């Protein structure tokens, strides 16, 4: 069995190699570049490919993979919005993800971003290193007693609720597929308008699909509580970036923390520090003192990487041995997830 790993960083190698002894017949080729129409030919000797969040898995790439003999696609991530699942289904490709490697890792990162922005620790760090011990301009708010609005209360949303609960926050959530009863220990399920109106912090934890694309837009931003902090650790496409720039300029939005960005695939995970930044929207975002952008690192903990490597190779092992795989997104000619709903688990 030959596996071609795309977008492979040093840490991917370390954690996959640590797991590989469990599968002695597995040969792995690592490619540091992303899977695209230009690079798909590099998978020609492989039986399976392993990809990450910014690899291309559209119809042309899937057809090319299938034509070269690839039969399994292993996503070493939870999100699958970048995979054309109907095409994968029509080609009878096996596709599996790692649905829950560490919800707490992402939740903890979302809260870290909120508190960095709120308490300006990033600015304090720079000031003190420059010998400036002045705290003017670093004034924050006490989180205790504030209302936090969670959009999406699946695994990561619930883990985020648990942390904010510890801060003494009131939690409201919007999730059309969640049960009010199950969410009651954490807070109240409300409609989106209520959440936007009441929350001092709004955190996005729903998947990106056609129903949620640009969920945060000029209309929804007009309803947001003035001065609210918006944090997105989910997927960049949930936010209309131009609309948030407008809301930041009018101070409707009090702060913006992004771990993900709509056009991130052009930039994230690579060093572009010696180049001119051509993305004018991102360049504008980076000029605001109350905006933090990180390059999709919410998942990036040792525990999560261990889990990702183990589950990814376990998914492949299920495929090879024709075992039922709990993480299949497409199997036996069926798409097992609906575009605009919560994933259906086998």
The residue (of 40 and 106) whose beta carbon lies closer to ligand NAI is: 106
Query: Which window, 19-27, 153-161, 279-287, 311-319, contacts ligand NAI (CB under 6 A)?
Result: 153-161
Distance, CA of 146 to CA of 168 (rounded, Å): 8
Positions 223 through 252 that interact with ligand NAI (CB under 6 A): 233-235
- CB nearer ligand NAI, residue 26 or residue 103: 103
Q: Enter the tokens of residue 199.
A: 């929350």
Euclidean distance between CA atoms 149 and 160, whole angstroms = 10
178 binds ligand NAI, rule: CB under 6 A:
yes
For residue 28, CA distances in Å to 37, 45, 78, 275, 346 come to 21, 11, 21, 32, 28
Stretch that binds ligand NAI, among 112-120, 140-148, 206-214, 250-258 (CB under 6 A): 206-214
Among 79, 108, 213, 270, binds ligand NAI (CB under 6 A): 79
Residue number, 146 or 155, with CB nearest to ligand NAI: 155
**Which residue in the set 4, 70, 206, 330 belongs to the binding site for ligand NAI (CB under 6 A)?**
206
Q: Applying CB under 6 A, what is the total number of residues that bind ligand NAI?
A: 32
CA 51-57-60 angle, to 5 degrees, is 140
- Rule CB under 6 A: is residue 174 a binding residue for ligand NAI? yes
Query: Per rule CB under 6 A, is residue 76 in the interface with ligand NAI?
Result: no
- Residue placing its CB nearer to ligand NAI in the complex, 152 or 254: 152
What stretches of 120-186 show up as alpha helix (H) in DSSP? Answer: 121-129, 155-166, 180-183
Residue 209 CB, shortest distance to ligand NAI, in Å, is 7
If the CB atoms of residues 45 and 266 are measured against ligand NAI, the closer one turns out to be 266
225 annotated active-site? no
Q: Concatenated DSSP letters for 18-46?
A: HHGGG-TT-EEEE-SSPP-TTTGGGGTT-
Helix axes 10-19, 302-320, angle to 10 degrees: 60
Does position 152 bind ligand NAI by CB under 6 A?
yes
Cβ proximity of 200 and 226 under 8 Å: no
The interface with ligand NAI within residues 259-278 (CB under 6 A) comprises 259-260
Question: What number of other Cβ atoms are within 10 A of residue 97's Cβ?
Answer: 24
Nearest to 206 by CA among 184, 174, 181: 174
Q: What is the rounded CA–CA span in Å between residue 257 and residue 319?
A: 39
In total, the chain counts a number of residues equal to: 346
**Least distance between ligand NAI and beta carbon 154 (Å):** 2
Query: What's the closest the beta carbon of residue 2 comes to ligand NAI, in angstroms?
Result: 27
Q: Is residue 177 within 8 Å of 341, Cβ to Cβ?
A: yes
Instruction: Check binding of 298 to ligand NAI (CB under 6 A).
Output: yes
Q: Has 235 been annotated as catalytic?
A: yes
Helix 155-166 × helix 103-119 angle, to 10° = 50
Site string for ligand NAI, 97-126 (x = CB under 6 A): ---x--x--x--------------------
Closest CB to ligand NAI among 149 and 255?
149
Q: Where are the beta strands (DSSP E) in 156-264?
A: 170-174, 188-189, 201-204, 228-232, 253-258
Single residue of 176, 226, 227, 289 touching ligand NAI by CB under 6 A = 176
Residue of 89, 155, 235, 307 marked active site: 235
Q: Does 343 bind ligand NAI (CB under 6 A)?
A: yes
Nearest Cα neighbor of 56 from 125, 7, 102 is: 7
Give catalytic residue positions: 235, 264
Residues lying near ligand NAI in the complex (CB under 6 A) are found at 78-79, 100, 103, 106, 151-157, 174-178, 205-207, 211-212, 233-235, 259-260, 296, 298-299, 342-343
């Amino acid at each position: 069995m030959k596996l071609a790993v795309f977008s492979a960083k040093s840490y991917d190698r370390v954690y996959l190699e640590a797991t590989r002894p469990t599968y002695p017949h597995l040969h792995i080729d690592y490619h540091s570049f992303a899977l695209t129409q230009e690079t798909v030919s590099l998978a020609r000797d492989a039986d399976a490919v392993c990809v990450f969040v910014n690899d291309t898995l559209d119809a042309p790439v899937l057809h090319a993979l299938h034509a070269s003999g690839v039969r399994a696609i292993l996503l070493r991530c939870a999100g699958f919005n970048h995979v054309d699942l109907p095409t994968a289904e029509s080609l009878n490709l096996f596709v599996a993800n790692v649905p829950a490697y560490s919800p707490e890792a992402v939740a903890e990162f979302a809260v870290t971003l909120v508190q960095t922005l709120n308490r300006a620790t990033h600015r304090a760090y720079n000031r003190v290193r420059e010998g400036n011990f002045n705290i003017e301009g670093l004034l924050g708010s006490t989180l205790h007693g504030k209302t936090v609005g969670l959009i999406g209360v699946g695994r990561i949303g619930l883990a985020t609720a648990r942390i904010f609960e510890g801060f003494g926050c009131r939690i409201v959530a919007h999730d059309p597929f969640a049960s009010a009863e199950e969410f009651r220990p954490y807070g109240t399920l409300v409609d989106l308008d209520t959440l936007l109106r009441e929350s001092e912090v709004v955190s996005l934890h729903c998947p990106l699909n056609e129903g949620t694309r640009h969920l945060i837009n000029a209309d929804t931003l007009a309803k947001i509580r003035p001065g609210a902090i918006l944090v997105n650790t989910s997927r960049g496409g949930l936010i209309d970036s131009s609309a948030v720039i407008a809301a930041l300029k009018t101070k409707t939005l009090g702060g913006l923390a992004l771990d993900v960005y709509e056009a991130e695939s052009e930039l994230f995970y690579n060093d572009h520090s010696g180049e001119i930044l051509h993305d004018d929207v991102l360049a504008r975002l980076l000029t605001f003192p109350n905006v933090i952008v990180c390059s999709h690192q919410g998942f990036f903990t040792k525990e999560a990487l261990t889990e990702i490597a183990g589950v990814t190779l376990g998914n492949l092992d299920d495929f090879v041995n024709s075992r039922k795989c709990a993480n299949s997104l497409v199997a036996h000619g069926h798409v097992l997830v609906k575009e605009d709903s919560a994933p259906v688990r086998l």
